[in-house]
Structure 1
Amino acid sequence: MSDPFDFDLFVIGGGSGGVRAGRIAVSEHGAKVALAEESRMGGTCVIRGCVPKKLMIYAASHPAAAAEARGYGWPEAQVGRFDWPAFRGKLHAELDRLEEIYERGFLVAGGTLFKQRARIVDPHMVELADGRRVSARQILVATGGRPALPDIPGAEFGLISDDLFDLETLPRRVLVVGGGFIACEFATIFHGLGCETVMIHRGDKVLRGFDDEMRVRVGYQLEGIGIDLRLGVNATRLERRGEGVRVRFDDGRTEDFDAVMFATGRNPNTEGLGLEEAGVKLGRRGEVIVDRWSQTQIPSIYAVGDVTDRVNLTPVAIREGHAFADTVFGAQPRFLDHAVVASAVYTRPNELGTVGLTEEQAAERGPVEVYAAHFSGMRDKFAGSTSRVAMKLIVCQTTLRVLGVHIFAPEAGEMIQLAAIAIGMGATKADFDRTVAVHPTLAEEIVTLRHPERRHAGPQADTVAQAAQA
């Protein structure tokens, strides 16, 4: 009897989560898989997000590296003029190379690729942009997210993060609107590349959702490196003025900028996919509602990655996609635990690495102890830098289990990856204590914290912003 479906799996979206799911399903479990991508293979992370952003962070770090070199006895160390066109050309060549790897890997595994948009017609049917209809036993939505523009007049005159990698020239004076990790990172990039950078955020601290003390420290650092950070401020109108943009703020002031970048959040990319017509339930922000197996209430339709608005990180999408393929096509049922996922904010000179509960979250759940260290790193101090490192462990007083680790230091992203292994295994403070330090390193402070700096007795958390003054 012939198979009633054209494919076992049809994936909509060629980003990290969709490609991983499709490749595992076909190469390890023998499924017949097709994938549709209307833009570029690799998705936001590879083409418009993590990868190009991190390369720009590296580029923006060299003026500070030259200053450090002078502090270490190289008095003539200079970086000179930054050649944006040369960097941009090399960046695009690298992104092309990575895209080709994603595409070739999927095709070599045995998948079928449609380079066009697809939408869901019914629980087992998708329609391609050219009008063809393709049936599938299972459909996986992995279309990611898209930058959100604020609802203000003239918002179309602003840039989103996707636009920055295609700029012909860097702006002399730029406004970054937002207070999340994308805003903090791109403000750091612009400043490091020589742009006069103003950053506004309507809240009283940047990085909502992160540990309060670390939020304050990141804000201080942004100001300390020369970014004009204005908290409690919002833009209300943009107007085109010649080659630039005039911005009106909610305090009545107006200022002119060469460019305005909106980093005001991202929305799940579900518009026009036919999901609701097929019976798939969407959330308030347009996210696909799924269970822990990434399955919607329509049994044949699944979703992974940012389109579900669970934990919006590329490695999470990859793990969700892999778990989906193993579960549905490999008879190896498993799902991703989203409770302990490490993340990093790539500011400079210090990054923020975090895993587990914040101090505020932990204090709301029960009695905790906070072990902390605040100091000048040997490398920075010798070079004459005023930068300070901060590390903290959040420990449950009852079980002595380490509930959270937060690191504000150079290369904190590298450190938090290893700490995440311990947290995921349920390590206790005693486990950290009996680990012998590697000396001299910044990371040794994580295993040499002996006495709690403060304790929280009840479910309510007290403010810790003043700790950032230490």
Structure 2
Amino acid sequence: MSAKQYDVVVIGSGPGGEGAAMKLVKAGKQVAIVEAFDKVGGGCTHWGTIPSKALRHNIQMLRDFRRNPLFQHTHDQIQVEYSDLLQAAGKVINEQVRSRLRHYARNRVEVIHGRARFSGPNQVEVVQAGGGTEEIEAQQFVIATGSRPYHPADVDFSHPRILDSDAVLRLDRTPDSITIYGAGVIGCEYASIFCNLDVKVNLVNTRDRLLSFLDDEITDALSYHMRNQGTVIRHDEEYEQVEAQDDGVVLHCKSGKKFKTDVLLWANGRSGNTEAMGLEDIGVSINHRGQVEVDKTYATSQPHIYAVGDVVGPPALASASYDQGRFVGAQIATGDPDWQLIDEFPTGIYTLPEISSVGRTERELTAQKIPYEVGHATFRTIARAQITGHDVGMLKLLFHRETLEILGIHCFGEGASEIVHIGQAIMAQPGDANSLLYFAENTFNYPTMAEAYRVAALNGLNRIF
């Protein structure tokens, strides 16, 4: 049987693959997506962004219920287990899968289920779950296979008490205690989830502070509130051994400390999903983390093969991956797209409270010797936050002292990942349109969280006039 022909084959149906496929098919290309899993959506939908954020949302609702004085008499009647939260998240995942399938069908993108392996520069063999194979050919390819949790060789991940960020979504009980090794985004988010289920949490950080790529004031606030919720944070620790026992797991650190808990969640590092794809055989360069090496156009060492999303490394955000996919789709379709990826994209971290930022930090501005000033709005002074009970947090605007250009926006608190986009829109304006005066002189609905921009802008102006 001859191989089926396409203009472009996209391998992986996560955000990067979806973005590329949609851009290409709209440009008139014949496109197929190869997906290893039996459902579309990739790791973002099934093991990463969607399930963890659904868990976080339900935990937030539980916290709000417990803190509301109207329901104090019913607190003892509500018992929520971790498995209940997973079941609720599953409904969201299923709806995401259904909507994406409709999307592909409506746009005539063929979805082929199976594991892809390059048998030649322009040929892919798809091995299906039942053992059958299908040969497909294309002029160009987009690799969007994502990433998976890094597994050091000396840690036994087959033990039921040792989990990674995929396996934790299969946990069928609420543990009594948990040690989370790795205090990056994933580690901090799961620490927030478990400590608000009244689980004893040790968060073991290999660095000297949480999320050091963020603004220091924001991460200091996060550390304070996570500790206040019951998480024990240990900085500057490195594991020496993970000892699984019948009644728990002991994390041995090189400092001599030992942490014994019911389960261990390993959340330290990720590897690109490039194994057994035959990439090295056709000359595609892979680094030591299993990530595909690409140039600024996301082309690999083979110019007709591109790679996008987590499989190429940072920033490893679903939003950025989707845009990378669209950019590559435009690159393939036109050869010279009339738009570029933005340099400053927002970061959202769904801890409790959540964090979002865009632009530069105080540390970066100081190192660059840029004269800046700060405008603050604390949520406890914002009427909408008082009404909703979400009065923990702040909005922080960094702006140029002389031009009033907005240089960075940092938000900590409920709704931060939504609030940041208001400032992002102004930051993206050219010339004098990017100004702190927009927020100081504009009118905002009252009461809203958006009003925090006016409060922060006036606070900043008061510092320089």
For the superposition of Structure 1 and Structure 2, which TM-score range results when normalised by the shorter chain? Answer: 0.7 to 0.9
Moved more, 151-160 or 359-368: 151-160
Contact 1:320 1:335 in 2 (8 A): no
- How high is the TM-score relative to the length of structure 1? 0.87
What are the within-5 Å matches in structure 2 for residues 40-439 of structure 1?
Answer: 40-70=39-69, 73-78=70-75, 80-129=78-127, 130-150=132-152, 152-154=154-156, 157=159, 158-329=162-333, 333-334=337-338, 336-348=340-352, 350-373=353-376, 375=378, 377-378=380-381, 388-397=392-401, 399-426=403-430, 427-439=434-446
**What's 1:19 paired with?**
18
Q: Residue 194 and residue 35 in structure 1: after superposition, are their counterparts in 2 closer, same or farther (change >3 A)?
A: same
Alignment check: 8 A CA contact 1:293 1:334 kept = no
Shift of 1:43: 0.8
TM-superposition CA deviations, 1:221-257 (whole Å, max 9, x none): 1101111122223332122211532222233233322
**What displacement does 1:453 show?**
9.7
DSSP-derived class of the 1:239 partner = strand
> 2:115 corresponds to which letter in structure 1?
R
- 2:262 maps to a residue whose letter is D
Compared CA separation, residues 396 and 149, structure 1 to 2 (3 A): farther
List alignment gaps of at least 5 residues for structure 2. none
Distance 1:212 1:38, change over 3 A: same
Three-state SS of the structure 2 residue aligned to 1:325 is helix
CA distance in structure 1 between the aligned counterparts of 2:217 and 2:331, rounded to whole angstroms? 40
Q: Which moved more, 1:180-189 or 1:12-21?
A: 12-21
Residues 47-103 of structure 1, C-alpha deviation per residue, up to 9 Å, x if partnerless?
111111111112212342124311xx5542526210444443343243233223323
Which residues of structure 1 form unaligned runs of 5+? 456-470
Kept in 1, the 8 Å contact 2:390–2:413? The answer is no
**RMSD across aligned positions (CA):** 2.9
- Aligned-partner residue type, residue 458 of structure 2: R
**What is the distance in 2 between the residues matched to 1:155 and 1:236?**
16
Residues matched between the structures, number: 449
Task: Report the TM-score, using the length of structure 2 for normalisation.
Answer: 0.88
Tell me, yes or no, if structure 1 residue 447 matches structure 2 residue 454.
Answer: yes
Kindly provide the amino acid, as one letter, of the partner of residue 436 in structure 1.
T
- With over 3 angstroms needed to count, the CA separation of the structure-2 counterparts of 1:41 and 1:386, relative to structure 1, is closer
Structure 1 115/360 Cα, relative in aligned 2: closer, same or farther at 3 Å? same
Bigger Cα displacement from structure 2, 442-451 vs 233-242: 442-451
Deviation at 1:315, TM superposition (A): 1.5
Matches of 1:84 and 1:310 in 2, distance apart?
30
Structure 2: distance between partners of 1:454 and 1:242? 61
Assess, with a 3 A threshold, how the Cα gap between structure 1 residues 22 and 376 changes in structure 2: closer, same or farther.
closer
Separation in structure 1 between the aligned mates of residue 90 and residue 261 of structure 2, nearest angstrom: 26
Q: Is the 8 A contact 2:3 2:134 kept in 1?
A: no
